[in-house]
Structure 1
Amino acid sequence: MNHVAHCLLSFPNEGLLIGNFIGDYVKGSTWKNFPRPVQLGIQLHRFIDAHTEHAPAMKSSIQRLRPFAGRFSAPVADIVYDHLLCSLWEQVLDKVEFEHFAQWAYAGLHAQQVWMPERLQQRWPDMMAGQFLHLYQSMEGLAWTLERFAQRLSLPFHWSELLEFLAENRAVLEEEFHQFFPDLSRQVAQWRQEHDVA
Protein backbone atom coordinates (compact mmCIF):
# COMPACT_ATOMS: atom_id res chain seq x y z
CA MET A 1 0.00 0.00 0.00
CA ASN A 2 1.03 3.60 -0.53
CA HIS A 3 0.51 6.95 1.23
CA VAL A 4 -3.27 6.89 1.60
CA ALA A 5 -3.50 3.45 3.18
CA HIS A 6 -0.50 3.93 5.46
CA CYS A 7 -1.92 7.22 6.74
CA LEU A 8 -5.43 5.83 7.09
CA LEU A 9 -4.29 2.80 9.05
CA SER A 10 -2.61 5.20 11.50
CA PHE A 11 -5.80 7.21 12.13
CA PRO A 12 -6.31 8.93 14.56
CA ASN A 13 -2.87 8.55 16.19
CA GLU A 14 -0.41 11.25 15.02
CA GLY A 15 2.64 9.41 16.35
CA LEU A 16 1.74 6.38 14.26
CA LEU A 17 0.99 8.71 11.34
CA ILE A 18 4.46 10.21 10.95
CA GLY A 19 6.24 6.91 11.65
CA ASN A 20 4.08 5.07 9.14
CA PHE A 21 4.59 7.84 6.59
CA ILE A 22 8.40 7.79 6.76
CA GLY A 23 8.66 4.01 7.06
CA ASP A 24 10.13 3.44 3.60
CA TYR A 25 12.96 5.86 4.37
CA VAL A 26 14.01 4.29 7.68
CA LYS A 27 16.36 1.37 7.12
CA GLY A 28 17.57 -1.38 9.42
CA SER A 29 17.60 -0.64 13.14
CA THR A 30 17.73 3.15 12.75
CA TRP A 31 14.06 3.20 13.81
CA LYS A 32 15.39 2.98 17.37
CA ASN A 33 16.66 6.58 17.06
CA PHE A 34 13.10 7.95 17.05
CA PRO A 35 10.70 8.64 19.94
CA ARG A 36 8.53 5.72 20.99
CA PRO A 37 5.32 6.86 19.19
CA VAL A 38 7.25 7.29 15.92
CA GLN A 39 9.00 3.95 16.43
CA LEU A 40 5.61 2.26 16.64
CA GLY A 41 4.54 3.94 13.40
CA ILE A 42 7.66 2.67 11.63
CA GLN A 43 7.03 -0.83 12.98
CA LEU A 44 3.41 -0.63 11.83
CA HIS A 45 4.59 0.41 8.36
CA ARG A 46 6.77 -2.69 8.19
CA PHE A 47 3.92 -4.88 9.44
CA ILE A 48 1.62 -3.51 6.72
CA ASP A 49 4.25 -4.05 4.03
CA ALA A 50 4.91 -7.63 5.16
CA HIS A 51 1.20 -8.47 5.19
CA THR A 52 0.70 -6.85 1.78
CA GLU A 53 3.63 -8.73 0.26
CA HIS A 54 2.12 -12.11 1.17
CA ALA A 55 -1.56 -11.35 0.49
CA PRO A 56 -2.92 -13.59 -2.33
CA ALA A 57 -5.17 -10.87 -3.78
CA MET A 58 -2.30 -8.39 -3.97
CA LYS A 59 -0.06 -11.01 -5.56
CA SER A 60 -2.72 -11.56 -8.21
CA SER A 61 -2.98 -7.84 -8.95
CA ILE A 62 0.80 -7.55 -9.19
CA GLN A 63 0.85 -10.30 -11.80
CA ARG A 64 -1.82 -8.50 -13.82
CA LEU A 65 0.31 -5.34 -13.85
CA ARG A 66 3.62 -7.05 -14.62
CA PRO A 67 3.36 -6.73 -18.43
CA PHE A 68 3.20 -2.94 -18.04
CA ALA A 69 5.44 -2.25 -15.03
CA GLY A 70 7.89 -5.16 -15.05
CA ARG A 71 9.90 -5.56 -11.87
CA PHE A 72 8.24 -2.43 -10.48
CA SER A 73 4.77 -3.96 -10.67
CA ALA A 74 4.59 -4.30 -6.85
CA PRO A 75 5.02 -0.56 -6.07
CA VAL A 76 2.74 0.28 -9.01
CA ALA A 77 0.13 -2.06 -7.52
CA ASP A 78 0.52 -0.21 -4.20
CA ILE A 79 -0.28 3.06 -5.96
CA VAL A 80 -3.22 1.53 -7.84
CA TYR A 81 -4.63 0.12 -4.60
CA ASP A 82 -4.47 3.58 -3.01
CA HIS A 83 -6.54 4.84 -5.94
CA LEU A 84 -9.03 2.01 -5.44
CA LEU A 85 -9.20 2.79 -1.72
CA CYS A 86 -10.08 6.40 -2.49
CA SER A 87 -12.60 5.58 -5.20
CA LEU A 88 -14.28 2.89 -3.06
CA TRP A 89 -13.96 4.89 0.16
CA GLU A 90 -17.64 4.87 1.15
CA GLN A 91 -17.88 1.12 0.52
CA VAL A 92 -14.83 0.35 2.64
CA LEU A 93 -15.23 2.93 5.43
CA ASP A 94 -18.44 3.95 7.11
CA LYS A 95 -17.09 6.04 10.00
CA VAL A 96 -14.42 8.31 8.50
CA GLU A 97 -15.10 10.83 5.74
CA PHE A 98 -12.24 11.20 3.27
CA GLU A 99 -11.99 14.98 3.61
CA HIS A 100 -11.83 14.79 7.41
CA PHE A 101 -9.15 12.11 7.19
CA ALA A 102 -7.10 13.98 4.57
CA GLN A 103 -7.07 17.27 6.48
CA TRP A 104 -6.10 15.41 9.67
CA ALA A 105 -3.22 13.71 7.83
CA TYR A 106 -1.96 16.91 6.18
CA ALA A 107 -2.00 18.79 9.50
CA GLY A 108 -0.44 15.95 11.47
CA LEU A 109 2.36 15.38 8.99
CA HIS A 110 3.05 19.09 8.56
CA ALA A 111 3.40 19.51 12.31
CA GLN A 112 5.92 16.66 12.49
CA GLN A 113 8.20 17.48 9.56
CA VAL A 114 11.16 17.37 11.93
CA TRP A 115 11.04 13.56 11.76
CA MET A 116 11.04 13.42 7.96
CA PRO A 117 14.32 12.45 6.26
CA GLU A 118 15.93 15.35 4.38
CA ARG A 119 14.94 14.21 0.89
CA LEU A 120 11.33 13.82 2.00
CA GLN A 121 11.39 17.27 3.62
CA GLN A 122 12.59 18.67 0.30
CA ARG A 123 9.59 17.14 -1.50
CA TRP A 124 7.09 18.01 1.23
CA PRO A 125 6.11 21.56 0.11
CA ASP A 126 5.21 20.30 -3.37
CA MET A 127 3.34 17.32 -1.91
CA MET A 128 1.29 19.60 0.32
CA ALA A 129 0.64 22.12 -2.45
CA GLY A 130 -0.58 19.31 -4.69
CA GLN A 131 -2.71 17.75 -1.94
CA PHE A 132 -1.06 14.42 -2.64
CA LEU A 133 -3.71 12.31 -0.89
CA HIS A 134 -6.48 13.83 -3.01
CA LEU A 135 -4.62 12.92 -6.22
CA TYR A 136 -5.51 9.27 -5.75
CA GLN A 137 -9.23 10.01 -6.09
CA SER A 138 -9.23 10.35 -9.89
CA MET A 139 -7.75 8.52 -12.85
CA GLU A 140 -6.03 11.76 -13.85
CA GLY A 141 -4.43 12.01 -10.43
CA LEU A 142 -3.45 8.36 -10.56
CA ALA A 143 -1.81 8.87 -13.96
CA TRP A 144 0.11 11.91 -12.65
CA THR A 145 1.26 9.98 -9.56
CA LEU A 146 2.46 7.03 -11.63
CA GLU A 147 4.26 9.33 -14.05
CA ARG A 148 6.09 11.10 -11.22
CA PHE A 149 7.02 7.72 -9.74
CA ALA A 150 8.47 6.62 -13.06
CA GLN A 151 10.35 9.89 -13.55
CA ARG A 152 12.07 9.56 -10.17
CA LEU A 153 13.32 6.10 -11.13
CA SER A 154 13.83 6.78 -14.86
CA LEU A 155 11.43 3.96 -15.72
CA PRO A 156 10.20 3.32 -19.27
CA PHE A 157 6.55 2.57 -18.39
CA HIS A 158 3.94 1.81 -21.04
CA TRP A 159 1.58 4.52 -19.79
CA SER A 160 -1.21 4.44 -22.31
CA GLU A 161 -1.37 0.64 -22.23
CA LEU A 162 -1.35 0.57 -18.42
CA LEU A 163 -4.12 3.14 -18.03
CA GLU A 164 -6.17 1.42 -20.72
CA PHE A 165 -5.70 -1.89 -18.91
CA LEU A 166 -6.78 -0.36 -15.59
CA ALA A 167 -9.94 1.04 -17.18
CA GLU A 168 -10.82 -2.23 -18.91
CA ASN A 169 -10.02 -4.46 -15.92
CA ARG A 170 -11.24 -2.24 -13.11
CA ALA A 171 -13.91 -4.71 -11.95
CA VAL A 172 -11.47 -7.55 -11.31
CA LEU A 173 -8.97 -5.23 -9.62
CA GLU A 174 -11.73 -3.88 -7.39
CA GLU A 175 -12.72 -7.45 -6.50
CA GLU A 176 -9.12 -8.25 -5.52
CA PHE A 177 -8.93 -5.04 -3.51
CA HIS A 178 -12.13 -5.99 -1.65
CA GLN A 179 -10.55 -9.35 -0.83
CA PHE A 180 -7.41 -7.67 0.44
CA PHE A 181 -8.18 -4.47 2.32
CA PRO A 182 -10.72 -5.62 4.93
CA ASP A 183 -8.33 -8.38 5.99
CA LEU A 184 -5.44 -5.92 6.20
CA SER A 185 -7.58 -3.59 8.32
CA ARG A 186 -8.41 -6.43 10.72
CA GLN A 187 -4.76 -7.40 10.99
CA VAL A 188 -3.75 -3.81 11.73
CA ALA A 189 -6.49 -3.45 14.35
CA GLN A 190 -5.16 -6.58 16.06
CA TRP A 191 -1.58 -5.29 15.86
CA ARG A 192 -2.61 -1.99 17.43
CA GLN A 193 -4.43 -3.81 20.22
CA GLU A 194 -1.41 -6.01 20.91
CA HIS A 195 0.86 -2.94 21.04
CA ASP A 196 -1.64 -0.96 23.14
CA VAL A 197 -1.93 1.78 20.51
CA ALA A 198 -5.22 3.64 20.27
Structure 2
Amino acid sequence: MPCMNYLAHAYLSFEQPALITGNMIADFVKGQSRLAVYDPAIQAGIRIHRAIDTFTDQHPLTLHAKQYFRASSGLYSGVFVDLVYDHFLATDPEKFTAESLHSFARNVYSIIRKQEEALPPAFMKMFGYMEEYNWLYGYHYIEGIFRSMRGLVQRAKYLETDANIIYAVFMEHYEKLKACYQEFFPELQQYVEGLIREEIRQ
Protein backbone atom coordinates (compact mmCIF):
# COMPACT_ATOMS: atom_id res chain seq x y z
CA MET A 1 0.00 0.00 0.00
CA PRO A 2 1.37 3.46 -0.86
CA CYS A 3 2.40 5.80 1.93
CA MET A 4 -0.33 8.01 3.35
CA ASN A 5 1.65 11.05 4.49
CA TYR A 6 0.94 12.98 1.30
CA LEU A 7 0.69 16.28 3.13
CA ALA A 8 4.18 15.86 4.54
CA HIS A 9 5.59 14.95 1.13
CA ALA A 10 3.94 17.98 -0.48
CA TYR A 11 5.01 20.31 2.34
CA LEU A 12 8.60 19.07 2.21
CA SER A 13 8.75 20.00 -1.47
CA PHE A 14 8.93 23.65 -0.34
CA GLU A 15 6.54 25.02 -2.97
CA GLN A 16 8.63 23.78 -5.89
CA PRO A 17 6.17 22.33 -8.46
CA ALA A 18 8.51 19.69 -9.89
CA LEU A 19 9.45 18.45 -6.43
CA ILE A 20 5.79 18.38 -5.42
CA THR A 21 4.99 16.29 -8.51
CA GLY A 22 7.79 13.80 -7.92
CA ASN A 23 7.03 13.56 -4.22
CA MET A 24 3.36 12.87 -4.92
CA ILE A 25 3.76 10.25 -7.68
CA ALA A 26 6.78 8.37 -6.34
CA ASP A 27 4.93 5.29 -5.06
CA PHE A 28 3.49 4.80 -8.54
CA VAL A 29 6.83 4.97 -10.41
CA LYS A 30 8.53 1.60 -10.34
CA GLY A 31 11.94 0.86 -11.81
CA GLN A 32 14.72 2.98 -13.24
CA SER A 33 13.33 2.94 -16.77
CA ARG A 34 10.05 4.54 -15.66
CA LEU A 35 11.93 7.07 -13.55
CA ALA A 36 13.87 8.19 -16.62
CA VAL A 37 10.64 9.25 -18.37
CA TYR A 38 10.36 12.31 -16.12
CA ASP A 39 12.22 15.61 -16.10
CA PRO A 40 15.30 15.68 -13.83
CA ALA A 41 13.57 17.93 -11.28
CA ILE A 42 10.64 15.49 -11.00
CA GLN A 43 13.12 12.62 -10.69
CA ALA A 44 14.68 14.53 -7.79
CA GLY A 45 11.26 14.71 -6.14
CA ILE A 46 10.82 10.95 -6.53
CA ARG A 47 14.23 10.30 -4.96
CA ILE A 48 13.46 12.69 -2.12
CA HIS A 49 10.12 10.95 -1.51
CA ARG A 50 11.87 7.60 -1.17
CA ALA A 51 14.50 9.05 1.15
CA ILE A 52 11.75 10.59 3.30
CA ASP A 53 10.02 7.22 3.57
CA THR A 54 13.24 5.45 4.58
CA PHE A 55 14.19 8.12 7.11
CA THR A 56 10.68 8.11 8.58
CA ASP A 57 10.27 4.33 8.73
CA GLN A 58 13.64 3.79 10.43
CA HIS A 59 13.49 6.67 12.88
CA PRO A 60 13.27 5.63 16.55
CA LEU A 61 10.34 7.99 17.19
CA THR A 62 8.35 6.41 14.36
CA LEU A 63 9.19 2.94 15.63
CA HIS A 64 7.89 4.06 19.02
CA ALA A 65 4.71 5.51 17.52
CA LYS A 66 4.06 2.30 15.59
CA GLN A 67 3.83 0.37 18.85
CA TYR A 68 0.56 2.10 19.70
CA PHE A 69 -1.03 0.70 16.54
CA ARG A 70 0.70 -2.68 16.43
CA ALA A 71 -1.96 -4.69 18.26
CA SER A 72 -4.82 -3.35 16.14
CA SER A 73 -3.16 -3.08 12.72
CA GLY A 74 -0.06 -5.28 12.71
CA LEU A 75 2.17 -4.62 9.69
CA TYR A 76 -0.06 -1.70 8.70
CA SER A 77 0.91 0.24 11.83
CA GLY A 78 3.36 2.36 9.84
CA VAL A 79 0.63 3.42 7.42
CA PHE A 80 -1.48 4.72 10.30
CA VAL A 81 1.51 6.53 11.79
CA ASP A 82 1.97 8.22 8.39
CA LEU A 83 -1.64 9.31 8.56
CA VAL A 84 -1.51 10.73 12.07
CA TYR A 85 1.75 12.54 11.31
CA ASP A 86 -0.12 14.32 8.52
CA HIS A 87 -2.86 15.26 10.99
CA PHE A 88 -0.35 16.78 13.37
CA LEU A 89 1.36 18.61 10.50
CA ALA A 90 -2.01 19.95 9.33
CA THR A 91 -2.77 21.23 12.84
CA ASP A 92 0.74 22.51 13.56
CA PRO A 93 0.32 26.28 14.12
CA GLU A 94 3.93 26.87 13.10
CA LYS A 95 3.21 25.37 9.66
CA PHE A 96 -0.43 26.10 8.80
CA THR A 97 -3.58 27.92 9.68
CA ALA A 98 -6.83 26.41 8.43
CA GLU A 99 -6.90 29.05 5.70
CA SER A 100 -3.31 28.57 4.57
CA LEU A 101 -3.74 24.80 4.57
CA HIS A 102 -6.78 25.15 2.32
CA SER A 103 -4.81 27.32 -0.11
CA PHE A 104 -1.84 24.97 0.04
CA ALA A 105 -4.00 21.96 -0.78
CA ARG A 106 -5.63 23.72 -3.74
CA ASN A 107 -2.23 24.72 -5.10
CA VAL A 108 -0.99 21.12 -4.92
CA TYR A 109 -4.08 19.86 -6.74
CA SER A 110 -3.62 22.51 -9.42
CA ILE A 111 0.02 21.57 -9.97
CA ILE A 112 -0.93 17.92 -10.47
CA ARG A 113 -3.91 18.63 -12.74
CA LYS A 114 -1.80 20.73 -15.11
CA GLN A 115 0.27 17.67 -16.03
CA GLU A 116 -2.15 14.80 -15.43
CA GLU A 117 -1.74 13.29 -18.91
CA ALA A 118 1.96 12.67 -18.21
CA LEU A 119 1.46 11.09 -14.79
CA PRO A 120 0.85 7.41 -13.91
CA PRO A 121 -2.80 6.42 -14.46
CA ALA A 122 -2.93 4.54 -11.16
CA PHE A 123 -1.76 7.65 -9.36
CA MET A 124 -4.32 9.81 -11.14
CA LYS A 125 -7.10 7.41 -10.13
CA MET A 126 -6.08 7.74 -6.49
CA PHE A 127 -5.54 11.48 -6.91
CA GLY A 128 -9.12 11.86 -8.12
CA TYR A 129 -10.33 10.76 -4.69
CA MET A 130 -7.73 12.91 -2.96
CA GLU A 131 -8.91 15.99 -4.80
CA GLU A 132 -12.65 15.23 -4.63
CA TYR A 133 -12.59 14.64 -0.88
CA ASN A 134 -9.80 17.15 -0.24
CA TRP A 135 -7.63 14.78 1.75
CA LEU A 136 -4.82 17.28 2.31
CA TYR A 137 -7.18 19.75 3.95
CA GLY A 138 -9.26 17.05 5.63
CA TYR A 139 -6.26 15.91 7.68
CA HIS A 140 -6.78 19.06 9.75
CA TYR A 141 -9.95 17.60 11.25
CA ILE A 142 -10.50 14.58 13.45
CA GLU A 143 -13.45 13.60 11.23
CA GLY A 144 -11.17 13.66 8.20
CA ILE A 145 -8.67 11.38 9.90
CA PHE A 146 -11.43 8.92 10.77
CA ARG A 147 -12.65 8.88 7.15
CA SER A 148 -9.08 8.23 5.98
CA MET A 149 -8.66 5.42 8.49
CA ARG A 150 -11.93 3.87 7.37
CA GLY A 151 -10.86 4.09 3.73
CA LEU A 152 -7.51 2.48 4.50
CA VAL A 153 -9.16 -0.40 6.33
CA GLN A 154 -11.50 -0.98 3.39
CA ARG A 155 -8.63 -1.02 0.86
CA ALA A 156 -6.13 -3.06 2.88
CA LYS A 157 -6.00 -6.65 1.66
CA TYR A 158 -4.64 -8.26 4.80
CA LEU A 159 -6.02 -6.05 7.55
CA GLU A 160 -8.88 -7.62 9.47
CA THR A 161 -9.94 -5.01 11.97
CA ASP A 162 -12.49 -2.27 12.41
CA ALA A 163 -11.61 1.34 11.70
CA ASN A 164 -13.33 2.29 14.95
CA ILE A 165 -10.73 0.28 16.87
CA ILE A 166 -7.82 2.02 15.15
CA TYR A 167 -9.49 5.39 15.64
CA ALA A 168 -9.93 4.60 19.35
CA VAL A 169 -6.21 3.82 19.60
CA PHE A 170 -5.44 7.13 17.93
CA MET A 171 -7.63 9.08 20.34
CA GLU A 172 -6.39 7.20 23.41
CA HIS A 173 -2.76 7.98 22.59
CA TYR A 174 -3.34 11.32 20.86
CA GLU A 175 -0.98 13.39 23.03
CA LYS A 176 1.80 10.79 22.98
CA LEU A 177 1.58 10.49 19.19
CA LYS A 178 1.59 14.27 18.92
CA ALA A 179 4.74 14.38 21.03
CA CYS A 180 6.40 11.92 18.63
CA TYR A 181 5.50 14.18 15.71
CA GLN A 182 6.72 17.33 17.46
CA GLU A 183 10.13 15.82 18.15
CA PHE A 184 10.43 13.97 14.84
CA PHE A 185 9.28 16.45 12.20
CA PRO A 186 11.97 19.13 12.70
CA GLU A 187 14.60 16.41 12.23
CA LEU A 188 12.86 15.23 9.06
CA GLN A 189 12.61 18.76 7.68
CA GLN A 190 16.30 19.42 8.34
CA TYR A 191 17.18 16.13 6.64
CA VAL A 192 15.12 16.95 3.55
CA GLU A 193 16.56 20.47 3.30
CA GLY A 194 19.99 18.81 3.16
CA LEU A 195 18.82 16.41 0.44
CA ILE A 196 17.55 19.29 -1.68
CA ARG A 197 20.87 21.12 -1.33
CA GLU A 198 22.61 17.97 -2.55
CA GLU A 199 20.24 17.67 -5.51
CA ILE A 200 20.94 21.28 -6.50
CA ARG A 201 24.69 20.62 -6.49
CA GLN A 202 24.36 17.67 -8.87
TM-score w.r.t. the length of structure 2 is: 0.89
- Which residue of 78, 87, 98 corresponds with 1:74? 78
Contact 2:68 2:169 in 1 (8 A): no
Q: Which amino acid aligns with 1:72?
A: Y
Q: Aligned-pair distance for 1:72?
A: 0.8
Q: Aligned-pair distance for 1:57?
A: 0.6
Q: Aligned-pair distance for 1:12?
A: 1.0
Unaligned runs of 5+ in 2: none
Q: Which amino acid aligns with 1:67?
A: A
Q: Aligned-pair distance for 1:55?
A: 0.8
Give the alignment of 1:6-155 within 5 angstroms. Answer: 6-29=9-32, 30-87=34-91, 89-92=92-95, 97-154=100-157, 155=159
Q: Aligned-pair distance for 1:138?
A: 1.2
User: CA RMSD, aligned part only?
Assistant: 1.9
Q: Aligned-pair distance for 1:97?
A: 3.0
Q: Which moved more, 1:149-158 or 1:77-86?
A: 149-158
User: In the TM superposition, what whole-angstrom CA distance separates every residue of 1:91-138 from its partner, at most 9, and x where no partner exists?
Assistant: 3569x9323322221111111212321122223333212112112111
Unaligned runs of 5+ in 1: none
Distance in 2, Cα, partners of 1:37 & 1:108: 14
Secondary structure of the residue that 1:73 maps to in structure 2?
A: helix
Partner of 1:181: 185
Distance in 2, Cα, partners of 1:122 & 1:65: 28
Q: Aligned-pair distance for 1:75?
A: 1.2
Distance in 2, Cα, partners of 1:135 & 1:105: 14
Identity over aligned pairs, percent: 28
Structure-2 change in CA distance of 1:123 and 1:161 (3 Å) = closer
Matched, 1:167 2:171: yes
Matched, 1:5 2:8: yes
Distance in 2, Cα, partners of 1:44 & 1:31: 13
Contact 2:18 2:41 in 1 (8 A): yes
Secondary structure of the residue that 2:129 maps to in structure 1?
A: helix
Structure-2 change in CA distance of 1:115 and 1:2 (3 Å) = farther
Secondary structure of the residue that 1:10 maps to in structure 2?
A: coil
Contact 1:6 1:21 in 2 (8 A): yes
Q: Aligned-pair distance for 1:42?
A: 0.4
Q: Aligned-pair distance for 1:38?
A: 1.1
Contact 1:3 1:82 in 2 (8 A): yes
Aligned residues: 195
Structure-2 change in CA distance of 1:64 and 1:51 (3 Å) = same
Distance in 2, Cα, partners of 1:84 & 1:117: 29
Contact 2:66 2:81 in 1 (8 A): yes
